[in-house]
Amino acid sequence: MQLQENKSLKTYNTFGIAARARYFLEINSIAELEEALQLKKFNTPFVISGGSNILLTKDIETLVLHINLKGIAIVSENEDSVILKVMAGENWHNLVLWTLERDYGGLENMSLIPGNTGTAPIQNIGAYGVELKDSFESCEAMNIHDQQLQTFSKEACQFGYRNSFFKNEGKGKFIITSVNLRLTKKNHLLRTGYGAIMEALKRNKVTEVTIKDISEAVIAIRQQKLPDPNVLGNSGSFFKNPIISEQAFQTFNAEYPKAPFYKVSDSEYKIPAGWLIEQCGFKGKRFGDAGVHKNQALVLVNYGAATGSELLALAERIMAAVFQQFQISIVPEVNII
């Protein structure tokens, strides 16, 4: 382990923000993680993995740990399913491709989500009708305080919409080291209900749908709508879709009958924040090097030299405009540092 100082984090966050780490350590094994957490010189370290869900608005004055734990192993399997243990530093999309090569089903709708496997449970990543929790079996995490490895069951993770234990009570207390996933080996559940998937499958003239077809459809949709962080800095959806009460929904729907919505429970509705932001006129707008993506208003982009503070200022402006027009609060999905 080699301690680096004043290291640029530009290539470690998908927004491409040029913040610096006062101290930086690359973590390649569980033993190294344990050792790093025992360094008495540092207070609570800052953990970075795929860097796909953070907005850095300042330099990090403490020790930054870059989690680079690698490995995918089959833990157990039977005729119908397989359980994989995936180390936290494995790139999520590479994992999805690895599972598809072996015809393991469950992750295909979540193709091309940026980031690493270890951070996937923190916000319960999801796309096109599927969330991580649907394939999640358990995860292992190191307690920052005593360096013990703890196993968290699905229940213990308290998954919700872009939410989990690790975003709430567990915040700042654990570092996820691996994730166990249960995937199907046959009779795959083909989740094609999301409108855009059906259209893409039809366009590709697919008749007998496979999990690979779904993955290809999702990749095509994402490439069309969402910017590639390697080309244009971004962090996926910057905001969560707001969930509003039945009463608020009735008022909203009467005034904006054309607005899209999804009923999420008997008394709650989810409204696409992208639609609200677009209505406020922000879609495709650019303010210096900070902007709102032209194809998906939920995504903020860095055209090159935007600072975290500039992107945050834009986010705040958007939140205020949406509230003023619709009386609906939207909140960031991305962790603001």
Q: Which residues are catalytic?
A: 162, 237, 333
Nearer to ligand EPU, 45 or 272 (CB): 272
DSSP 182-213: EEESSS------SHHHHHHHHHTT-SS--HHH
Question: Which C-beta is closer to ligand EPU: that of 128 or that of 165?
Answer: 128
SS3 113: coil
How would you classify residue 284: left for phi > 0, otherwise alpha for psi between -120 and 50, otherwise beta?
Answer: left
**Proportion of the chain in helix, strand, coil states, percent, rounded to 5:** 30, 30, 40
Amino acid identity at 96: V
User: Nearest distance from residue 20's CB to ligand EPU, in Å?
Assistant: 26
Q: Which residues bind ligand EPU (CB under 6 A)?
A: 127-128, 225-226, 236-237, 240-241, 260, 272, 274-275, 278, 283, 296-298, 333
DSSP state of 283: T
Strand, helix or coil for residue 251 = helix
Which CB sits closer to ligand EPU, 275 or 326?
Answer: 275
Among residues 67 and 197, whose Cβ is nearest to ligand EPU? 197
User: Minimum Å distance from CB 278 to ligand EPU?
Assistant: 4
Nearer to ligand EPU, 34 or 278 (CB): 278
Closest CB 204 distance from ligand EPU, rounded Å? 18
Q: Report the alpha-carbon distance of residue 120 to residue 118 in Å, rounded.
A: 6
CA distance 186 to 64: 42
Q: How far is the CB of 144 from ligand EPU (least distance, A)?
A: 26
Report the chain's C-alpha Rg in angstroms. Answer: 20
Question: Rounded to the nearest whole angstrom, what is the least distance from the CB of residue 260 to ligand EPU in the complex?
Answer: 4
If we measure between CA atoms, which residue out of 112, 117, 8, 21 comes closest to residue 68?
Answer: 117
- Residue 27 vs 214, nearer CB to ligand EPU: 214
| Cα atoms in the 13 Å half-sphere on the side-chain side of 60 | 32
Beta-carbon count within 10 A of 276 CB: 26
CB of 213 to ligand EPU, least distance (A): 17
